[in-house]
Amino acid sequence: MSEVCGFSIDEYCVKVKDFHGGNLAPGLIIAGFMVDLACRNLPENTLFEVICETPSCIPDAVQLLTPCTAGNQWMHIIDVGRYALSVYDKYSGEGVRVHLNPSKLKKWAAIEEWFFRLKPKSEQDTQEILKQAIEAGTSILDIEKVTITPEYLVKKKKKSVSICPVCNEAYPSNYGALCPACRDDCLPYISETEHMRTA
C-alpha cells in the first residue's frame, strides 16, 4: 500500500500535517488508509457523505481526501469514541463502515502502545509509530457493509430565517420562537457586550 486516494504517502503526510495544525499525528496516517479503503469499496461515481465516530484525527483525513467537510455538512461527527467511519450513498444510505480492529495490532507493537496509551507520550517513539502505521496500511482495519438509517440521509431544504427577539440574531425559523441559544441558555461564554471596531 503506497498511496491514499491517489496521493503518495509522502504527499498525503505533507498535506495533512499542514492542515492539522502542524502536527503529523499517527492517527492521521491510519485515518488516511481508512478513507482510502472505504472509498475504494463504494461504487464509482457515488455521491457520498461520511459519518465519523470520533472527532479525533479522522475528520481531517476525510476533509482532505474527499469533498466532504464540516462546513458543507457532507461530513458528520457522532462522537461515540470509536475509531471508525462510514462512507455511504447520500440518497440510498448504502455504504461501508471501516474501523481499526484492535486485535490486529498485536504484530505492530509501537502502534499498539500508542493506540492503547500504554506509555506516556514523552516515552513514545513517534517515528516508529508513523513507520509502522505506513507499513501496516489497511491490514489493521476491518470493513463491513452498512445501511445508514433514513433520518441521517439528505437533509430537508432549509426553512425560512427569523430574527430572535432576545439576541436579535438570525436563526432558522423551524427551531421555534427563540433561537436555540436563547431558548436553552446553552452558550459556553459570557459576553462583555463591549462593542469593538469592525473594520
Binders of a second copy among 47-106, rule CB under 8 A? Answer: 51, 53, 55-61, 63, 67-75, 77-84, 86, 88, 93, 96-97, 99-103
DSSP state of 108: -
DSSP-based three-state secondary structure for 88: strand
Q: Give me the least distance between CB of 127 and a second copy, in Å please.
A: 20
Contact pick of 5, 24, 42, 167 for a second copy (by CB under 8 A): 167
Q: Which of 79, 28, 16, 72 is nearest to 47 (CA)?
A: 72
Is 180 near a second copy (CB under 8 A)? yes
Q: Give me the least distance between CB of 133 and a second copy, in Å please.
A: 15
Q: Which residues in the 147-166 window bind a second copy by CB under 8 A? A: 147-149, 151-152, 158-161, 163-164
User: Taking the alpha carbons of 93, 150, 51, 135 in that order, is the dihedral positive or negative?
Assistant: negative
Considering the complex, state which of residue 71 and residue 127 has its C-beta at the smaller distance from a second copy.
Answer: 71
Is 37 near a second copy (CB under 8 A)? yes
Q: Give me the least distance between CB of 190 and a second copy, in Å please.
A: 5
Q: Give me the least distance between CB of 5 and a second copy, in Å please.
A: 15
Query: What is the CB neighbour count within 10 angstroms for residue 164?
Result: 18
Considering the complex, state which of residue 127 and residue 149 has its C-beta at the smaller distance from a second copy.
Answer: 149
CA distance 150 to 142: 24
Length of the chain: 199
Residue bearing cell 496509551:
117
Pairing assessment for the beta strands 94-100 and 3-4 based on DSSP bridges: unpaired
